[in-house]
Structure 1
Amino acid sequence: MSQSLQTARIEMREAADGRTIAIVVIDHPPVNAGSHQMRSDLLHAFERLRGHKNIAGVVLTGANENFVAGSDIREFDAPPVAPHLPDVIAAIEAFPHPVIAAIDGAALGGGYELALGCDMRIATKRSVVGLPEVSLGLVPGAGGTQRLPRLVGIAKAITLITSARRVKAEEAKSLGMIDELVEGDVVSAAIAILPEASKAPIRDRGVIRSSEEEIQEATADALKKARGSKAAAAAIDIIKSADQLPIDEALAQERAASLETRVGEQSKALRHLFFAERVVSKAYSDVKPRPVRTVGIVGFGPMGRGIALAFASRGFSVIAAEASRELLGPAMDLFRKDVRALVDSGRLASEGDITERVSASDIDGLAPCDLIVEAITENMDAKKSVFARLADIAPDAILASNTSYLDINEIASVTARPERVAGLHFFNPANVMRLVEVIWTKSSSPETIATLMAVAKKLGKIAVPAQVAEGFIGNRIFSAYRQQCEFLIEDGAYPEEIDRAMREFGMAMGPFAVFDLAGLDIAWATRKRLAPTRNPRERYVDIADRLCEAGRFGRKTGKGWYNYQNAPGGEPDPAVNAIIEEASARKRIVRRSFSTAEIQSRLMAAIVYSAAEVLASGIAERSSDIDLALVNGFGFPSLKGGPLHWAANQPRAEILESIEAIRREEGTHRKAHIDIDAMLQSLLPAVA
């Protein structure tokens, strides 16, 4: 017997004792995302079954290799429409017979809350469960904050919910998030269990107690990692109420907080990034990529080793090459040391899984490679020499440069097949940072770009396509940010004041700490390369040059903008302040103090104006690509959705005034050549 609804179906089976078992199958391709139609169908299904005689119980499961992989986020910008998920869960809990959630695949967000509304949860080993709503600026709104503490305790619930962790089945079983792990067909296993099951809603259980110390520790850790997330803070308060309030009162508070965060700016920003990532993941997906199994890496310094680790950890075979065997031996030793350190810290499971995939060779040994990534020093002549040689050694391979700034069109010009050349720009450390810029030249074929986009996706990266330009997307905008920072210090601010202001804005790190981490010599080399073409009328600050001339290249030399010799995290250095003050005096600048708000206003104006230039010039294909690049590569706060999303939601008069002010600071006194107001207005429908 089968009774079909639009997103679910009811199947009837006979149990060993002669009673009937109902199987409710959620079938809403592609991943059974929760929707209004699904909620309506589930509620109707349980209403139909409620009057069925001789029933032993219900197995609730999902088709499409998932239980329910979260909610349809597109519904979040519209007013909630009944029936709501709490209504469905209430119907399951009030159902007179036991209901088993049979999970195979993902049960996330509202999907896991639905499972928590059942009397028992069983799962296959490939399943994953969790409440990741906080990652979208939301509070679980269908009982997750109240039912989970009754399974794992207050402290553990705080950690699981605020971290938005997706928990694999075996760990979920050990934590109590699911009741049984099963082999084979999960529905058959549930049918076998059901005749002996009893009605046992989680809401009727007591909360598993956590000590006050455990709760305080979990709270402090969660708030530190949340970095200002209103959803995380609200979730913590509601989770703590689980053993302080009657469950219906606590559930009402949870629902109110869920609806409040749903319309908040942080959730809109995070949902903007979610959809931006989905859009860019489909770029060039209509072009068939070439297969890539073996990857060559030329240049095995810190960046090359990080790139090798990124590829090897995702199953690619890697051949590392250096200019000479003498350089490659020590570099391989350092690579193995890097891998051992990751294993010792628990971030890698096995050293052998990585090192056995990475071999060493001279450049001639790269002939078997499908893709070769060049990661040598930022020198045009050196890169052209390498590419000319690679084009002969591996004529059918895709050749990609990891350059941060150089013109890849010029690099490609020395090869016989420039259509096979592009940029694959990783960010340091390459095995950690999610952003990769895929740079298309004037000759790059769609197949080449599609292949690099697909490879980056296999690496677990966010691949953002960009046109060849000085600094591409991220570094071009970051250079404008850097320049405005230098104007501020020459005018009267100090590095620690600017860093503090931008951390308060929400940046992961202050700019001067980032400069030191990246290495001051890289930007110095770029400034020297561009010096002959610099407009003499534009303002130029030479303080960073003077630091580099003194050998202060950042963390790697123990000194940069900060001193790291006695403080691993860096501390202000009077010697740097003296260089700053001397530079101001030399230009007869009367130094003054800056408020936090003024620092933030000037630096954000620099970022937004440069981002607008990048978009208007076609370097980036979409405004959302710029937001993704700055959030995932440069520590822009995700809670603000990226610089263009943030700017589109600010008072435009203030943004325009700030931009005009920084244009004057540059010394050109020219009007902005981009209609910023029109651009920001055009972004509003996409980010509302």
Structure 2
Amino acid sequence: MPVTHRITGDTCVITIDNPPVNVIGLAVREGLVAALDAAEAAGVARVVVTGAGRAFVAGADAREFDGDPVAPHLPDILRRLERLPAIAAINGAALGGGMEIALACRARIAHPRATLGLPEVTLGVVPGAGGTQRLPRLLGLAQAVALISEGRVVGADQALALGLVDALADDPLAAALALPAADFGPEKALCDRPAPAPDDAALDTARKAAAKRAPGQIAPQRAIDLVAMAAAAPMDQGLAAEREVFLTIRRQEQAAALRHLFFAERAATGRARTLGVTPAEVKTAVVVGGGTMGAAIAYALAGLGIAVTLVETTPEAAARARTNVEKLFDEAVKRAKTTAEQAAADLAARFRFVAGYDDLPPADIAIEAAFEDLSVKRAIFAALDAGLPQTTILATNTSYLDVNAIFAGIRAPGRCLGLHFFAPAHVMKLLEIVRAEGTGPATLATAFRLAERLRKIPVEAGVCDGFIGNRILTRYRQTTDLMLIEGALPAQIDTAMEAFGMAMGPYAVQDLSGLDIAYANRQRKNLRAQPGIRYVPIADRMVEDLKRLGRKTGAGWYDYTDGRRSPSPVVDDLVRRTAAEAGVTPRAFTAAEIADRALLAMIEEGLYILAEGIARRPADIDLVLVHGYAFPRWRGGPMFAADRLGLPAVLARLDALAAADPLSWRVPGLLRDLVAQGHTLASLNQEKT
């Protein structure tokens, strides 16, 4: 039974038991109604609501959001609950609807490890069962609007300091049963408390923060509107407005996209459990390369308590690597993530900096983070293979190179794979786990388990140039370069893509990372000589003719003055001259057309990646683009966007583009098959073992 109740004396204990995290679905709501019926019939003096297992209630069952609401409805249940002498014994996570259940109670006692919050905006909705009206009456408008609009989840200690809970107890149920009846009388019900005082400054601050943190997203701003109502309207009116907004926006595009990513993330982080083997626990690591990437990987590993040996080529380079790691500890101290004393202790206890491979300790994993050169990487792994046990997992952090070629000749190839971290490696959540030809399931499972410990979103990828993310990035940039030579200008394309929701346009991003990096990759692939493609030389001429390398030289696709970018007449002239030399007559592009073409290019490449088995699921492609390349989260990713556009419509548009420019556009056979069968990309997201 998802909800049980027992009446002992004058007390009714209601236990929500819907594993694994006690989400509120129809059966739970029906069980709550039955429990309340029994409590009211018995005329109990006390109702205690708690959860079974490690969660109180982790929210509503988001799978129900795509359908029509079915009675009984949680808001109606909570109006009944708040009229009873109820106490919430919060044994674990109380999130979303779980937090709203707790707010409908007259007292809240939490376990010290409990987490609490109303994170609905992160799923594109607002609290739908009284959260926006009850929380301001408990905490005041300023605290409530910040928590709700950010979707922030707090620990028990902070919840107690805020006044979100009344007490902490190792056994919340026992503490609730021992609470004197006088401590939870009718005056404690939030519905009977006065409305919070208006606070226009807090609302304005929340609106500006939401616009910066979640640009383009609807839910945070609507949530702020509702919290404002708590101070300006009777509670019944506020509850009715909240419910209307919740039911309206939960069916809209943004909410659907954010739910899609929520379930995709959950599947990705649970991948290790689908491989049928037990992952090893990584306790020791070797990291080769102490530059920006290697130092950050080592720092992230050490943060888990893993002992790290960081390898460089010379004593001088090892000293620089130590300095790079020390800078990361210094940043953590400045952000109050640790103390100077603790940072010094962790550095001493968890790090060893060495030159060469002659004295390596045994390690569970070795991760190479050298620059992108196949011969360099092969030499590193030959040394690691000779210097470490054959049980050590060997991982390369390459962004583009052939992982199979890197590991050619290595003993025990089942332990080899790619771990493509994204910079900065200790911050960015995405980790592409690249499956080489010989990678064994135990190695994959251990990599996924390590990613889970690092709190990253792991996505499995096969071997190809650029794997999932950089392969799509290359196609995206090729497409925007085509629009350059056809008549668009860099600033126009960037503006259009930023309006679409990308954090930065493609040319601003290249200026930030350095034009020489993309240039080196193009030279490696020798695009000029590749048959069957439409080569656009503008990006190469930026480096070769104009010597513009981006922000680091003060000039790239844009001119930079005091760090601020402005369109460059020199670059715009290069674009126009190159088009004229190619015999292309420029034409006008609208912002919508630019964004549409860029998205179609990502979709097209994603379909080929799926067809080739490089990505396991369409949702994995979406995770890579959202978490690694700043694709707008509220659009769900390119594969999700393809389904929302409709695959027949995508097919028609790609057919038209391919007919007009067959060197630049192709129509994936997988797309034709899906359309012919009436299937969607979402139908390919079922977990494979």
- How far the C-alpha of 1:448 sits from its partner, in A, is 1.1
Unaligned 5+ residue runs, structure 2? none
> Map of 1:143-158 to 2, 5 A cutoff?
143-158=130-145
Aligned counterpart, 2:351: 358
- How far the C-alpha of 1:368 sits from its partner, in A, is 1.9
**In 1, distance between residues paired with 2:304 and 2:664?**
50
Work out whether residues 539 and 667 of structure 1, in 8 Å CA contact, stay in contact via their aligned partners in 2: no
Aligned counterpart, 2:213: 225
Q: Secondary structure at the match of 1:22?
A: strand
1:392 equivalent to 2:386? Answer: yes
- How far the C-alpha of 1:255 sits from its partner, in A, is 0.7
- How far the C-alpha of 1:540 sits from its partner, in A, is 1.2
* 336-345 or 394-403, which deviates more: 336-345
Q: CA RMSD in A?
A: 2.2
Aligned counterpart, 1:17: none
Relative to structure 1, the CA distance from residue 151 to residue 140 in structure 2 (aligned partners, 3 Å threshold; closer, same or farther) is: same
1:212 equivalent to 2:200? Answer: yes
Relative to structure 1, the CA distance from residue 325 to residue 569 in structure 2 (aligned partners, 3 Å threshold; closer, same or farther) is: farther
Aligned counterpart, 2:327: 337
- How far the C-alpha of 1:256 sits from its partner, in A, is 1.1
Q: Secondary structure at the match of 2:526?
A: helix
Relative to structure 1, the CA distance from residue 210 to residue 294 in structure 2 (aligned partners, 3 Å threshold; closer, same or farther) is: farther
Aligned counterpart, 2:625: 630
1:202 equivalent to 2:162? Answer: no
Relative to structure 1, the CA distance from residue 634 to residue 653 in structure 2 (aligned partners, 3 Å threshold; closer, same or farther) is: same
Work out whether residues 651 and 667 of structure 2, in 8 Å CA contact, stay in contact via their aligned partners in 1: no
Q: Secondary structure at the match of 2:680?
A: helix
1:65 equivalent to 2:54? Answer: yes
> Map of 1:46-445 to 2, 5 A cutoff?
46-52=36-42, 55-95=44-84, 98-182=85-169, 184-197=170-183, 198-199=185-186, 200-285=188-273, 286-346=276-336, 351-352=343-344, 354-356=346-348, 357-364=350-357, 365-394=359-388, 395-445=390-440
Work out whether residues 203 and 224 of structure 2, in 8 Å CA contact, stay in contact via their aligned partners in 1: no
Q: Kindly provide the CA deviation profile for residues 243-298 of structure 1, in whole angstroms up to 9, marking residues without a partner as x.
A: 22211111111111111112111111111111112222333422211221112111
**In 1, distance between residues paired with 2:165 and 2:180?**
15
**In 1, distance between residues paired with 2:59 and 2:601?**
38
Q: Secondary structure at the match of 2:587?
A: coil
Work out whether residues 67 and 111 of structure 1, in 8 Å CA contact, stay in contact via their aligned partners in 2: yes
**In 2, distance between residues paired with 1:639 and 1:191?**
44
Given the alignment, which residue of 676, 679, 683 partners 1:682?
A: 679
**In 2, distance between residues paired with 1:12 and 1:569?**
68
**In 2, distance between residues paired with 1:670 and 1:234?**
41
1:560 equivalent to 2:556? Answer: yes
Relative to structure 1, the CA distance from residue 336 to residue 557 in structure 2 (aligned partners, 3 Å threshold; closer, same or farther) is: farther
Given the alignment, which residue of 31, 49, 53 partners 1:41?
A: 31
Work out whether residues 618 and 681 of structure 2, in 8 Å CA contact, stay in contact via their aligned partners in 1: no
Relative to structure 1, the CA distance from residue 352 to residue 75 in structure 2 (aligned partners, 3 Å threshold; closer, same or farther) is: farther
- How far the C-alpha of 1:654 sits from its partner, in A, is 4.4
Q: Which amino acid aligns with 2:280?
A: R
Q: Secondary structure at the match of 1:67?
A: strand
- How far the C-alpha of 1:467 sits from its partner, in A, is 0.7
Q: Which amino acid aligns with 1:174?
A: A
**In 1, distance between residues paired with 2:565 and 2:300?**
28
- How far the C-alpha of 1:627 sits from its partner, in A, is 0.9
**In 2, distance between residues paired with 1:92 and 1:252?**
17
Structure-2-length-normalised TM-score:
0.93
Work out whether residues 492 and 591 of structure 1, in 8 Å CA contact, stay in contact via their aligned partners in 2: yes
Aligned counterpart, 2:569: 574
- How far the C-alpha of 1:44 sits from its partner, in A, is 1.4
- How far the C-alpha of 1:422 sits from its partner, in A, is 0.7
> Map of 1:611-622 to 2, 5 A cutoff?
611-622=606-617
* 373-382 or 533-542, which deviates more: 533-542
Work out whether residues 286 and 309 of structure 2, in 8 Å CA contact, stay in contact via their aligned partners in 1: yes
* 217-226 or 656-665, which deviates more: 656-665
Q: Which amino acid aligns with 1:226?
A: A
- How far the C-alpha of 1:651 sits from its partner, in A, is 4.5
Give the 4+ runs in structure 1 shifted more than 6 A.
none
Q: Kindly provide the CA deviation profile for residues 6-58 of structure 1, in whole angstroms up to 9, marking residues without a partner as x.
A: 223334456xxxxx3332222222221112111111221122122325x4312
**In 2, distance between residues paired with 1:592 and 1:476?**
28
Work out whether residues 479 and 598 of structure 2, in 8 Å CA contact, stay in contact via their aligned partners in 1: yes
Q: Secondary structure at the match of 2:669?
A: coil
Q: Kindly provide the CA deviation profile for residues 109-136 of structure 1, in whole angstroms up to 9, marking residues without a partner as x.
A: 0000000000111112211111111111
Q: Kindly provide the CA deviation profile for residues 329-361 of structure 1, in whole angstroms up to 9, marking residues without a partner as x.
A: 122212212321232134556534653423211
Q: Kindly provide the CA deviation profile for residues 203-233 of structure 1, in whole angstroms up to 9, marking residues without a partner as x.
A: 1112332432222122222233221222222
Aligned counterpart, 1:3: none
Q: Secondary structure at the match of 1:499?
A: helix
Q: Kindly provide the CA deviation profile for residues 138-189 of structure 1, in whole angstroms up to 9, marking residues without a partner as x.
A: 111100010011122223322211211111111112222112223x211121
Q: Which amino acid aligns with 2:598?
A: L
Q: Which amino acid aligns with 2:135?
A: L
Q: Number of residues paired by the alignment?
A: 673
- How far the C-alpha of 1:529 sits from its partner, in A, is 1.4
Q: Kindly provide the CA deviation profile for residues 533-569 of structure 1, in whole angstroms up to 9, marking residues without a partner as x.
A: 94244211222223333553333444332344x3435
**In 2, distance between residues paired with 1:519 and 1:562?**
12
**In 1, distance between residues paired with 2:650 and 2:278?**
42
Structure-1-length-normalised TM-score:
0.93
**In 2, distance between residues paired with 1:587 and 1:58?**
79
Identity in percent: 41
